[in-house]
Amino acid sequence: MAGNTASPVAAGETGQELSTGADWEYAPAPESRDIVTIRDEYGLFIGGEFTAPLSGEYFTTINPATEEPLARVAQAGKADVGRAVASARQAYEQTWGRMPGAERAKYLYRIARVIQERAREFAVLESLDNGKPIKESRDVDIPLAAAHFFYHAGWADKLAYAGFGPEPRPIGVAGQVIPWNFPLLMAAWKLAPALATGNTCVLKPAETTPLSALLLAEVIEEAGLPPGTVSIITGDGRTGRELVAHPGVDKIAFTGSTEVGKEIQRAIAGTGKKLTLELGGKAANIVFDDAPLDQAVEGIVNGIFFNQGHVCCAGSRLLAQESIAEPLLDRLKQRLETLRLGDPLDKNTDIGAINSREQLDKIRGLTAAGEAEGAERWSPPCPLPAKGYWFPPTVFSGVSQSHRIAREEIFGPVLSVLTFRTPDEAVAKANNTPYGLSAGVWTEKGSRILSMAQRLRAGVVWANTYNRFDPASPFGGYQESGFGREGGRAGLAAYLHG
């Protein structure tokens, strides 16, 4: 892989290989970055305009694929957070909070349309700042972000008929803190339902991926939202902490690590602030012996190697029924040899860069622990670029439940393979985790799908597919994966009183 040669692909049950005729070279097919104008320096988006931070501090955001600096970005301090919350309060009381739902909808439709119009720009910018392959930012992140605004625009004037009582009331000012794995999409997940229900927002993107949220600020300006309805304040964890602690915030919505989620819960205990937490996961992707194996292999690859495994609901534990474990693993390895790792802007790239050195170190640490604890490590031949942060797709077999790689969220392109004999054992192993965000089931029996879905303690269970998202479908977890739902009617409830 990554050496620009396509390896043969496995073919069916016969064990024969389907030759592609020749080992061919892929010519590079890079998306042009000219479509994006990245400013040298970004201020904070507060009260409907970009302003310099009162803190006077800036930090640099880099391209993780090349380590090249992209821009200097403002670090919001306590006074900046105060300004943003005050402008959100004012907008809530004077404009947005009083606006009829049908009017709010028009603004949300406008945002959705402008995201679509500027989709290529967003996709290139997201891949530059995050390191994810352009085919994912182009085909998943950006269209889904637009879809979230479209979907919630549709709800804005129908809330009185949604089962929340005749006059559902917004909560007020929402403080929203998001991670770096899906920067624009997570911003859309947070902003769209909050705005549709009449709340105003102060959003803090992650330190390593602020640029698409700042481009979204331009879109919000272009869509003409009343000043203060949305503020976007960049900064690191300190900014997030100030936002969470600010007494003018009525609701906190957080997506990120379980550790920070717990810290937030402690920080706001007793304040009366509402809270939703979407945290980590260690999902089981369960393959039964009657599953179509080639399809399952695609689902496993999509489950753990999509977005370099930086996905909270990633299928990071493969549970394979013992009778098919060996052929499944063989096919999986053959498939992984065809994945292409490299330049995120190349349209042929399947696996991009790891988002930060810190995350790369974490992945390296946990995979070293996997080897030390006795699991068998495998990666396809995979030369890594000399600069930037890279990690090859990695599979661990012979994993036992006590291994750290079976218990901890690695948040990287690393799959731990375990086996089971009976459905009961599969359920017991899948549920043997402090998390409870998602799971996958591969079988041709409908009755088994239903019974497994009932017994798996996970917020989302995919059947014969993986990592499918839709704004109409609620998403969220149990236990250490957090609480509250995002998306669908359930997601609206998180932003309404009652």
Of the residues 55, 255, 285, 321, which one makes contact with ligand NDP according to CB under 6 A = 255
| Backbone φ and ψ of 220, nearest 5° | -65, -40
Residue 254 and residue 276 in contact, taking contact as beta carbons nearer than 8 Å? yes
The answer to the question of residue 64 lying near ligand NDP (CB under 6 A) is no
- Active-site residue 218, yes or no? no
The answer to the question of residue 299 lying near ligand NDP (CB under 6 A) is no
Nearer to ligand NDP, 90 or 359 (CB): 359
Chain positions 80 to 139 lying near ligand NDP, rule: CB under 6 A, are: none
Choice among 136, 207, 242, 278 that is catalytic: 278
The answer to the question of residue 457 lying near ligand NDP (CB under 6 A) is no
Smallest distance from ligand NDP to CB 308, Å: 12
Q: What residue has token string 């100030």?
A: 242
Smallest distance from ligand NDP to CB 355, Å: 8
Q: How many CB atoms lie within 10 A of CB 86?
A: 18
Q: Longest Cα pair distance anywhere in the chain, in angstroms?
A: 69
Token representation of residue 437: 């965000």
Q: Are strands 482-483 and 274-278 parallel, antiparallel or unpaired?
A: antiparallel
The answer to the question of residue 53 lying near ligand NDP (CB under 6 A) is no
SS3 state at 55:
coil
Q: What residue has token string 């006059």?
A: 167
Token representation of residue 31: 């998306």
| Backbone φ and ψ of 376, nearest 5° | -95, 125
Q: Are strands 41-42 and 68-74 parallel, antiparallel or unpaired?
A: parallel
Smallest distance from ligand NDP to CB 219, Å: 20
Smallest distance from ligand NDP to CB 167, Å: 33
State the Cα–Cα distance between residues 300 and 306, nearest whole angstrom. 10
State the Cα–Cα distance between residues 294 and 334, nearest whole angstrom. 11
Instruction: Report CA 383 to chain centroid distance, whole Å.
Output: 27
Residue 414 and residue 357 in contact, taking contact as beta carbons nearer than 8 Å? no
Of the residues 87, 130, 176, 181, which one makes contact with ligand NDP according to CB under 6 A = 181
DSSP code for 25:
B
Of the residues 256, 299, 440, 491, which one makes contact with ligand NDP according to CB under 6 A = 256
Tell me how many residues contact ligand NDP (CB under 6 A): 26
Of the residues 64, 131, 240, 309, which one makes contact with ligand NDP according to CB under 6 A = 240
Q: CA nearest 85: which of 248, 251, 264, 274? A: 248
The answer to the question of residue 257 lying near ligand NDP (CB under 6 A) is yes
**Segment near ligand NDP (CB under 6 A); pick from 148-156, 175-183, 317-325, 425-433:** 175-183
**Segment near ligand NDP (CB under 6 A); pick from 57-65, 254-262, 282-290, 368-376:** 254-262
- Active-site residue 312, yes or no? yes
Residue 124 and residue 134 in contact, taking contact as beta carbons nearer than 8 Å? yes
- Closest residue (Cβ) to ligand NDP? 240
Choice among 201, 312, 313, 382 that is catalytic: 312
Chain positions 336 to 395 lying near ligand NDP, rule: CB under 6 A, are: 359, 362
Contacts with ligand NDP, residue ranges (CB under 6 A): 177-181, 204, 206-207, 236-237, 240-241, 244, 255-257, 260, 263-264, 279-280, 312, 359, 362, 409, 411
